[in-house]
Structure 1
Amino acid sequence: MNAPGLFISFEGIDGSGKSTQARLLRDHLAAGGQDVVLTREPGGSPGAEEIRALVLQGDPDRWSAETEILLFTAARRDHLERTIRPALAAGKVVICDRFADSTRMYQGLSRGDLRPVVDQLHALMIGIEPDLTLLIDMEPAAGLSRALSRRTAEERFEDFGLPMQAAMRRGFLDLAAEFPDRFEVIDGSGAIDAVSRTVTAAVDARLRAR
């Protein structure tokens, strides 16, 4: 289905600043008159938010990677049905803090060679990719330090430590190379406002090209 809206996702390792940049982009587009929906994964719909509590809290070894793939896919399907597709069909810009690329990395790569499983389930149950994915790139040690300083209840993946974050960063950059038409890699090491200007320039260009 070719929806009239624009679907934008933000990706990056933990602590990269993607959530902040997603909010700033929402504010920028809304100020320009765009009808914007800001959402997140896992979550973004009532059922998906319930699954979020299951996968982001508890001990690091609470679930196997295979079980996590099923949980994340179930959450994403509910999110797609109840939030993303209706907004796109109404012509809105959907900004999503993480989408399927995070599952490809966290469960499909960093915790085992399960990328084919993720892609098969995605094709079967989701069947949509963002029009534009903004990868906020950052050194793993700096991102992990920032993530751990937040001290929220949702720290299960941060507890896997620096090696996983390093593997994630490499994997995200490989994904960006695999899908260059969809990805924009943004240097997240600068000041928040400077990063935001780079993000908004990339999105404004994509909106003009529609």
Structure 2
Amino acid sequence: MKHDGLFIVIEGLEGAGKSTALSVIQQWLEQRFPGRELVNTREPGGTPLAEEIRAIWKAPREEPMAPMTELLMVYACRAQLVETVIKPALARGAVVLGDRHDLSSLAYQGGGRGLAEPVSALSGITLGTFKPDLTLYLDIDPAIGLERARQRGELDRIEQEQLDFFQRARQCYQSAAAEDDNILEIDASQPMAAVHQAIVTALESRL
């Protein structure tokens, strides 16, 4: 898909600091591209329909959610978001800033759940060759990240997973970053100021 827009994604495990990183990126983009439309998205979610699915997807419940159900719900959300929000925004020449995208499924459902082949198949069906122009991956030890998440308050369904789930997800993130030049890994265990400077440096070097 050819377009005049720009699609940037932030990725990372729980507690990696994505929320503050998004603020840093948005501020940089507003300074770098003054007057240009900026669209913020999040996954799963980002549209009214996808947000309804997200609410079901994230909430702890007595009935265990089957891994394949979890995976299919994620891609239902992603297909809706990409087709109704992201692609139209890029076609208008907007800058789209995404809180997670397809790499999250590779890590969480592919690595964490052991569903690498279904993830690859669904990614091909729903996205084809569509991908972000740049992904910033905030890398952190899962034990540290989960402790940060606990300090924020009550954990959601995914955050309640065991440590080894997140360790597998991290391995997938790191492998993807090592293989794809459009995925830049940033050490999120550094002091916040250092992380934010690394983000700005990465943006300036690529954009």
TM bucket (normalised to shorter chain) is over 0.9
Counterpart in the other structure of 1:44: 46
Aligned-partner SS, 1:108: helix
Shift of 1:60: 8.6
Determine if contact 1:186/1:199 at 8 Å carries over to the other structure. yes
Counterpart in the other structure of 2:107: 105
Counterpart in the other structure of 1:31: 31
Determine if contact 2:13/2:166 at 8 Å carries over to the other structure. yes
Counterpart in the other structure of 2:70: 68
CA distance in 1, matches of 2:31, 2:106: 33
Counterpart in the other structure of 2:153: 151
> In the TM superposition, what whole-angstrom CA distance separates every residue of 1:28-85 from its partner, at most 9, and x where no partner exists?
2113314322211011111111111011111497311111111001000111122111
How many residue pairs get aligned? The number is 204
- Shift in CA distance, 163/3, structure 1 to aligned 2, threshold 3 Å: same
Aligned-partner SS, 1:58: coil
Q: TM-score, normalised by structure 1?
A: 0.91
CA distance in 2, matches of 1:60, 1:98: 27
> Which residue among 135, 140, 143 is the counterpart of 1:133?
135
Following TM superposition, the consecutive aligned residue runs of length 4 or more in structure 1 with deviations greater than 6 angstroms are: none
CA distance in 2, matches of 1:172, 1:198: 18
Asked if residue 118 in structure 1 is aligned to residue 119 in structure 2, the reply is yes
Q: TM-score, normalised by structure 2?
A: 0.92
Which consecutive residues of structure 2, in runs of 5 or more, have no partner in the other structure? none
Shift of 1:125: 1.4
* Residues 81-96 of structure 1 mapped to structure 2, 5 A cutoff: 81-96=83-98
CA distance in 2, matches of 1:123, 1:19: 29
Asked if residue 164 in structure 1 is aligned to residue 165 in structure 2, the reply is yes
Determine if contact 1:106/1:168 at 8 Å carries over to the other structure. yes
- Shift in CA distance, 115/191, structure 1 to aligned 2, threshold 3 Å: same
CA distance in 2, matches of 1:61, 1:198: 42
CA distance in 1, matches of 2:193, 2:141: 19
Letter aligned with residue 68 of structure 1: E
Letter aligned with residue 135 of structure 2: T
Asked if residue 189 in structure 1 is aligned to residue 189 in structure 2, the reply is yes
CA distance in 2, matches of 1:23, 1:62: 34
CA distance in 2, matches of 1:189, 1:78: 34
Aligned-partner SS, 2:51: helix
Aligned-partner SS, 2:97: strand
Letter aligned with residue 174 of structure 1: S
Q: CA RMSD in A?
A: 1.6
CA distance in 2, matches of 1:145, 1:9: 24
